[in-house]
Structure formats: C-alpha cells, structure tokens
Structure 1
C-alpha cells in the first residue's frame, strides 16, 4: 500500500488508528471486566484481587511492547549514528519481529476463542484488527526497511494464520485465554497510540476522529 507512505501521515493510516482506538476503549477494555469473573472462579481469588490481576496483566503487555519499541528506536538511532543505514540493527530484528509474530498469532487464535461469539462480534473484531495490522505493518516497515520486506512481513502474516490454525485444533483453559486476552489488550493500547501520538508523525486528526467516531457508533449499535 504505497499510498500510505510519507509525512504528513496518510489520512487512511490515521483513520485506521481511530478505528482501533474505538475498539480498544469500547470493546477490549470492557471485555477485561468479563475476564475478571473467569479469574475469580478459576483461581479462587477475592473480587479485589481479580480486579487488580486482570489489569496488571494488561499493564505487563503494554510495558513489554513499550520496552521492545524503545529498544528498536535506540537501535535505529545507533544505526544512523554509525551511518550504516536508517533501520534497526540486524541483531535486534529477530527479537522485535519475533514479538510481533507472537502478538499476531494471539490475535489469530482469538478469532476462534473470544468471549463473545457470533458473526457480528467476529466481523467487528476482524475489521478492527485488520486495520490495526495496517498501522503496525507500516510502523514495522519504517523501522526495519528491506529486512521487513524480505522476511518480516511474511513471518507476521503467517503468524495470524498459524494462530488461527492452533485455535481450530486446540482449546486452552478459559483462564489462560483470559490472561492472553489481557496481555493482548495492553499490547494493542500501546501499539495503537505509539503510531498516532508522536509529533513527527504529523497525524491527520480529522481522519483519526472520523475513524474513532464512526467505529464507536458501529460498536454501540451492534
């Protein structure tokens, strides 16, 4: 999607980011509350402990991806300083891409094992995550350049199908699904906002607001 490239940021990327933000705040975060009961039943914890635990796991997800993002940015700065290239160093490529392989595989797995079942919730999840992939793909390509084009994009794309395939043939305990979902929620929050908030992105607020408002209305009507 070469029309997405360049600064100021493409209105399509900002719109996709807005959709993902609406999904996070109106669907993912409320669904964390549903998983609190799963944790309480499976782990025999008090209501106060489960309230803290589910959001602690989400915080760990956010912090993990933030740490990986900072490591990638620092590596890219070192590459610029040595005048080798404007990309993340080769030794960090596998760690950074590997984290997104697991992230995408988890999204693929949850296609089949979400709290809400049915065609409409599935379509809502599919559209939000597909647009989220557009923005994360753009960010990864910007960080890794040719390495992402040659290897990374195929790995992250295959990971979604791999996660779906694992979900089709296995079913892990519900409490573990809750942990994975909470961790994913933190990762999605970080990965959505990091693509829209930096000043150098020169994001298109109108497109972002339109994406957020439009998808929020769809979620509220569903």
Structure 2
C-alpha cells in the first residue's frame, strides 16, 4: 500500500514539471494567488517539519554507540544542520553561477541542469522512506515539494520558455523517475544515509522557500499566503499527533 501511495506522490511531483508551462501562461493575478498559497504552505513545512526533523535526527545521531569518540555531543547534534547548510550553499552557488556568468554558457547550463536534476532525484529517493514513517507526512511532503517544483519551473518557463520545454521539464521528470527507481531497487542502507540525503535536500528547499516561494510584498496576496500557511500548519500538527503518540 505504501508503494502505491509513493507511486502516486512521485507522479504528482513529475507532473508539476509539465504543468508549470500552463501556470506561466495564466493571468498574472491568478499566478500571484497560487504563488502566495504555495509560499505559505512551504514556510509552514520548513518550520514545523523540516527543521524539527533535523534536530531530532541530530539528537539520535549523538546517541549512537561509539559516535562520541569522533566529536563532542553539540557538534554531532549540529551535523545535519551543517549538511543542510552545505545544501543551501551548493544550490545558491549554482543559481549565482547560472545567472551571473557571461562566458561559457553551455557549461553553465550543464552545471545548472545537473543541480536541478540532483534535487529532483533526491525528492523521489527520500519519498518512500518518509511514507513508511507516516502516510500523511508523505502526502504533505508531496504537496510542499509539488508547490516548490511548480513555482520554480514557472519561473524557468516564463524567462526561458524554449530551454524549459526542450530540456528542463524532461530532465526534471527523468530525475524523479530515476530517484524513485533507486529507492525501490536499492533503498537507503542506513538511517544516517537517509538523514544526510534529507538534510542536503532540505538545504535546497530552504533556499527555494525563502528566495523564490515567498512572493515579494508588492505581489503577495496575503489571504492566500495565510491560507496556505494555516492549512499546512493544521495538517502537520495533525500528523504529529498521529505518529508521535
């Protein structure tokens, strides 16, 4: 049953790569509503699920047998946050390079494409394990990631429509399928492997939420933003009450 849900979730994420062009063609006022709704949901997901999971994972890592011989407890507990910071730095650097470089555009496009594929790959790779933790968590993760993919691809479709149609939507879809296939055939060997992948992915999600998914004050539809934030908050708190008691 969990794998059926996982297939549905992966299909939803992959489908967003193809819906972005449709969204980008809608009236600006309608796009602002959806962007505000998705931005609110993304913020709630970061604060109520992603960051707490990093803290819980760090604490569990510090209690692992023999781990304290390598570093002090506070350093061990901060390890997953360090991985998330590396993720933020990596994905931010890729965007800076792709936008600022005026030379060797083919290489810049290649690097940016690989970063784009990597984060989509990690979405699908971590999803099945998250669903086994709790189906509602998996569905909420899918909603948050789908909103992120849709908004990020919408930006690409608006500014580089030809590149988006010919390359990036195919690349994103292929990366999602490959990540899911990897998780099905060769699941994460240890919880630490999964935690590191999730933390790195979290870094990419953090930079995306706070730079792309929160609309500027001039274009934000406040009630839509608050609606997305409130709905995701209620659902995440419900998931916490179901799976932690």
Q: Which residue of 1 aligns with 2:46?
A: 24
* Pair 1:51-2:68 in alignment: no
Asked whether the equivalents of residues 12 and 207 of structure 1 are also in contact (C-alpha less than 8 Å), the reply is: yes
1:29-57 CA-to-partner distances (Å, cap 9, x unmatched) read: 10111211343216603321112212111
1:193 pairs, out of 179, 186, 210, with 210
State the match for 1:83 in structure 2.
none
Flag the 1:158–1:25 CA change in 2: closer, same or farther, 3 A. Answer: same
Pick the aligned partner of 1:68 from 85, 88, 94.
94
* Structure 1 residue 156: Cα displacement: 0.6
User: Which residue of 1 is the match for residue 16 of structure 2?
Assistant: none
Partner of 1:181: 198
Matched, 1:90 2:112: no
Deviates more, 1:4-13 or 1:126-135: 4-13
Aligned: 1:103 with 2:119: yes
Gap change, CA 1:64 and 1:42, over 3 Å in 2: farther
Matched with 2:13 is: none
1:192-211 C-alpha deviation (Å, 9 max, x unpaired): 22114574983333322221
| Runs of 4+ in structure 1 over 6 Å off | none
Counterpart contact for 2:35–2:215, Cα < 8 Å? no
User: RMSD over aligned Cα, in angstroms?
Assistant: 2.5
Contact 2:54 2:80 in 1 (8 A): yes
Structure 1 partner of 2:57: 35
Q: Partner residue of 1:82? A: none
Segments of structure 1 that go 5 or more residues without pairing to the other structure are 80-87
1:22/1:197 CA distance change after superposition, 3 Å: closer
Which structure 2 residues correspond to residues 193-212 of structure 1 after superposition, within 5 A? Answer: 193-197=210-214, 199=216, 202-212=219-229
What's the counterpart of residue 135 of structure 2? 119
Cα offset, 1:7, TM superposition? 4.8
Q: 1:38, 1:178 within 8 Å by CA — same for their partners in 2?
A: no
Relative to the length of structure 1, the TM-score reads: 0.84
CA displacement at 1:70 relative to structure 2: 1.5
23-32 or 172-181, which moves further after superposition?
172-181
Count of residue correspondences: 212
Q: 1:140 is matched with which residue?
A: 156
Cα 1:21–1:71 shift into 2, 3 Å: same
Q: Indicate the larger mover: 181-190 or 113-122.
A: 113-122
TM-score by length of 2: 0.77
* 1:85 corresponds to: none
- The answer to whether the Cα contact below 8 Å between 1:196 and 1:203 also exists between their aligned partners in 2 is no
C-alpha contact 1:21 1:212 (8 A) present in aligned 2: yes
CA distance in 2, matches of 1:200, 1:211: 16
